[in-house]
Structure 1
Amino acid sequence: MLKVGVIGTGMIGQDHIRRLTTVLNGVAVTAVTDVDTAVAADVGGRIGATVHATGEELVGDPAVDAVLVCSWGPTHEQYVLAAIAAGKPVFCEKPLATTQEACLRILDAEAAHGSRLVQVGYMRRFDFAYRALKMAVDSGEIGLPLMMHCAHRNASVPPFYRGDMAITDTAVHEIDMVRWMFGAEVSAVRVLVPRHNRNGGELEDPLLLIMEMADGVIVDVEVSVNIRYGYDIRGEIVGENGTASLGGPAPVAVRRDGRVGVPVPADWRERFLQAYDVELQEWVHAISLGGQPLGPSAWDGYAAAAVSDAGVEALRTGNRVLISLVDQPKLYAEAAG
């Protein structure tokens, strides 16, 4: 039984605790902590977990085998570094860290440790539809992939959502996904700003990202975060001999009264519920058997941050921005190979 400590008991932290305690196998939540001590005490009391005053104290708990970081983004670096220093596997919700410099400090610490401890929470890689899409590409049945068209649409976003979050918080999922889908880094990015959506107030919405992959594939991503009708994720890959695309938003279509209707998910939790389950179950399984995670690595977290930063620069300047990554540490090159 893998004993997990959870840092951060807000919305995503509580959802993961529910998943770990009622859905998944081979795992138990033994410790929790949060800056809101009342919430942490309530959550810990309901599941019989030890409540710690700090994340570092939780990491040092001998009853914690592995750590799940679900706290506010700017705190991720300190908790991931604490887990690495303790030699404990750590699953960190995205972002790995809020700056490239912080991501690089994590890379250095993990490389010095000598083996992978970090997994980053990019759940698209665990979604059944995206995995089927990747299998279609890797099989060669549509020939070499040439382009990919993506859409990431939200019905609405909260008041604190600001302009660059369309890239750093929303499109970052597509940024990681295309690197995984095509096995190549993003080499340049542009951002176009179409006609303004009045539903978004002063927010620049929608946006169109155009990413150039190192292997020549071109990817466009429509980001619309106030489109009202629901949460809609789309993807189509154009190859030499055909196309492959994600299915519709729902597995069932109802035909009635001369109309065809399909439900549209309300938000990301509904659309990717099973992907989150698979993501954490595979993490638990990998840690329990082999001792190190196999999902998105600290390198993936760093690369996504670098592309996101370039996207923000492209949005602010209107320029095509080149992306330069540091040399990949041997640890991650070997894992990718």
Structure 2
Amino acid sequence: MTVRIGLIGAGGMGRAHVERIETELAGGRIVAVADLNLEGAKEVAEPLGAKAYGTGAELIADEEVDAVLIATFGKVHAPDVIAAIEAGKYVLCEKPLATTPQDCIAILEAEQRAGKKLVTVGFMRRFDAGYQEMRAALEGGELGYATLVHCRHRNPSVPEGYVTRNMIDDTAIHEIDICRYLLGEEIVSVRVDTPRSTSRRFEHLTDPLVLVATTESGVLIDDEINVNIQFGYSIECELVMEAGTIRLGDQNRTVTRDSLGNRNPICRSHIDRFHDAFNQEVQQWIRAVERDEHTGSTAWDGYAATCVVDAGLESLDNGGKEVAVSMIAKPEFYA
């Protein structure tokens, strides 16, 4: 079967998903595109022979749409995710699942009423080969248990509309989820430190930040969020265990050696760095929809990450104090 996919959000991320589904992946086809900018939706839809809608609700109601891919701004995710659940349609929602724990809980409740896991959250790093090898090394047990995780999230620059809170809710959320995934446990407290700011930032931005988190078993996570580093997009992670460490390779690129030294190409964006991970994530989702089953991250994972973000934002607003992560008890539905 071909999974008929409706895309909500015709911006850069949505268009990147269209490109991969139409040219690189198997089993799926974009049959409808929705965006508040209807002309933007038409621009993406018409070359595909797809329908264009001005709202997500219209697209979800279309009986010819089997599954929904949401690539809009996080603060507007919840209504469309809930509508897709109520329509009985599988949904792949780009992170964050929602921007408040309350909206995430509403999604959890809708999914439990449906009696079926329908929501996958777009935490694509879970599909990156390097992170998967790190998780396998920890689960193998030969190096003992985890004690520390060192993370670095560096962007060459950000647009002027990007604000300091986005360093937590839009950027560090990736490390928050991948550390939960690597360690297999929840984060229970967070603080956000503010080092000396770089001069290469917009005046309204506090950059860099360091998010420090502690997990249930006491693993300490530090995450440098540095979004005007200039030289490129660089994601680093080192997992420290009792008898050794494992860290991501340097972007898995070739190395040039000449009179200038040893060097490798540097990515410029997350779409470049995580191209293969994005492809594997969406391909797995399409194949799972074909089989009428859920795989990958859950709505609970989206909720947990948002709760950690919420604590991080509270710490940021209160001079870097340590804040406990507040979460509801995990429903048996997600056990």
Equivalence map 1:1-337=2 (5 Å):
1-202=2-203, 203-257=205-259, 259-289=261-291, 291-317=292-318, 318-333=320-335
Gaps of 5+ in 2: none
C-alpha distance in 1, partners of 2:210/2:53?
A: 44
Q: Matched residues in 1 for 2:101 and 2:190: separation?
A: 17
Counterpart residue identity of residue 113, structure 1: A
Q: Using the TM superposition, give the Cα deviation of residue 77 of structure 1 relative to its aligned residue in structure 2, in angstroms.
A: 0.7
Q: AA paired with 1:89?
A: Y
Give the secondary structure class of the aligned counterpart of 1:199: coil
SS of equivalent residue, structure 1 residue 325: coil
Contact 1:129 1:247 in 2 (8 A): yes
How far apart in 2 are the matches of 1:53 and 1:195?
Answer: 44
CA–CA separation in structure 2 for the residues paired with 1:87 and 1:254 = 51
Moved more, 168-177 or 141-150: 141-150
In structure 1, list runs of 5 or more residues that go unmatched: none
- Determine if contact 1:154/1:225 at 8 Å carries over to the other structure: yes
Partner SS, residue 243 of structure 1: strand
Q: Does the residue aligned with 2:200 lie in a helix, a strand or coil? A: helix
In 1: Cα distance, 2:261 partner to 2:54 partner: 56
Q: Is the contact between residue 37 and residue 54 of structure 2 (CA under 8 Å) also seen in structure 1?
A: no
Deviation of 1:253 after TM superposition, in Å, equals 0.8
Q: Deviations over 1:50-93 (max 9, x none)?
A: 12232111111111110111122222111011101101101111
Give the letter for the 2:54 counterpart.
A
> Partner of 1:163: helix, strand, or coil?
coil
Aligned-partner Cα distance in 1 for 2:174–2:269: 14
Secondary structure (helix, strand or coil) at the match of 1:198 reads: coil
313-322 or 51-60, which deviates more: 51-60
Number of matched pairs:
332
Task: Report the RMSD for the aligned CA atoms in angstroms.
Answer: 1.0
Letter in 2 for 1:126: F
The one-character-per-residue Cα deviations of 1:164-209 (angstroms, maximum 9, x if unpaired) are 1111100000000011110100000111111121111321111111
Secondary structure of 1:200's aligned partner: coil
Equivalent-residue separation in structure 2 for 1:325 and 1:171 (angstroms): 19
In 1: Cα distance, 2:202 partner to 2:161 partner: 12
2:294, 2:169 → 1: CA distance? 24
State the distance in 1 between where 2:66 and 2:31 align: 9
What fraction of aligned residue pairs are identical, expressed as a percent? 43
Mapped to 2, the partners of 1:108 and 1:217 lie a distance apart of 31
Q: Distance in 1 between matches of 2:257 and 2:187?
A: 42
> Aligned AA for 1:4?
I
TM-score by length of 2: 0.97
CA distance in 2, matches of 1:64, 1:230: 38
TM-score between the two structures when normalised by the length of structure 1: 0.96
Paired with 2:128 and 2:50, the residues of 1 have a C-alpha distance of 30
Residues of 2 paired with 1:110 and 1:56: CA distance? 17
Matched residue type, 1:149: H
Q: Give the match's secondary structure for 2:293.
A: coil
Shift of 1:329: 1.4
